[in-house]
Amino acid sequence: MMNDRVRARVRPGTGLDTVQSRGSQSHHASVEHAWSELDGKAARMVILSRKVLPAAKKVVMSCRLGGDSV
C-alpha cells in the first residue's frame, strides 16, 4: 500500500497515535489507512485528521486503532 516507512508514537492516555511519514503530498492524499507496528504485529489505524507539512515533506496524522489486524 505504501512504500514509505510509517512510524507511530502513542500518546499515553489519549488512545490516539501521531503517525509521521515522508513522501509526496499526492502520494499521501490517497492514503485512507495508516499501519502501525504494535506488539510485534501490524494493526490498521483509522485516520482522524491529516496535516501536510510541505516544507518538511511530511504528513502528520492523528489516528485511532481500528479495522483488521494483519
Task: Note the pLDDT tens digit of each residue in 7-65.
Answer: 545 454 554 444 444 444 433 333 444 444 445 455 566 667 777 777 766 666 666 66
Domain boundaries, the chain: 7-69
Residue-level pLDDT at 63: 64
Instruction: Give the burial class of 3: count Cβ atoms within 10 A of its Cβ; 0-12 exposed, 13-18 middle, 19 or more buried.
Output: exposed
Residue 17 carries which DSSP code?
E
